[in-house]
Amino acid sequence: MTQQPNNPLHGITLKALLTELVARYGWETLATKVNINCFRHEPSIKSSLAFLRRTPWARAEVEAIYLELLQGPWGKR
């Protein structure tokens, strides 16, 4: 396994990332940040993970929101 010391997403699963974003922001706020149906209509972790795993642009936007969260005043892991 390759070490990625400068990658803040290294070692964080998509499920953990999404679960933390939902806990922090909620589905409604996430839907305003990333306009995708799986966040707006009957959202669930399972359906969102399936969509994000097969849609690179949406995954990149969600990861960017997570990185913003890490860089915020309560982030910095």
58's tokens? 């949406």
pLDDT over threshold 60, residue 1: no
What is the CATH T-level fold of the domain 18-71, as seen in this structure?
1.10.720
**Predicted TM-score of the model (pTM):** 0.82
pLDDT over threshold 90, residue 45: yes
End-to-end CA distance of the chain: 22
Closest CA to 47 of 68, 30, 32: 30
pLDDT over threshold 90, residue 12: no
18 within 8 A of 45, measured Cβ to Cβ: yes
Section 14-36 average pLDDT: 95
Sign of the C-alpha dihedral, residues 26, 31, 60, 52?
Answer: positive
Closest CA to 55 of 68, 37, 73: 37
Sorted by where each begins, the domain ranges of the chain are 18-71
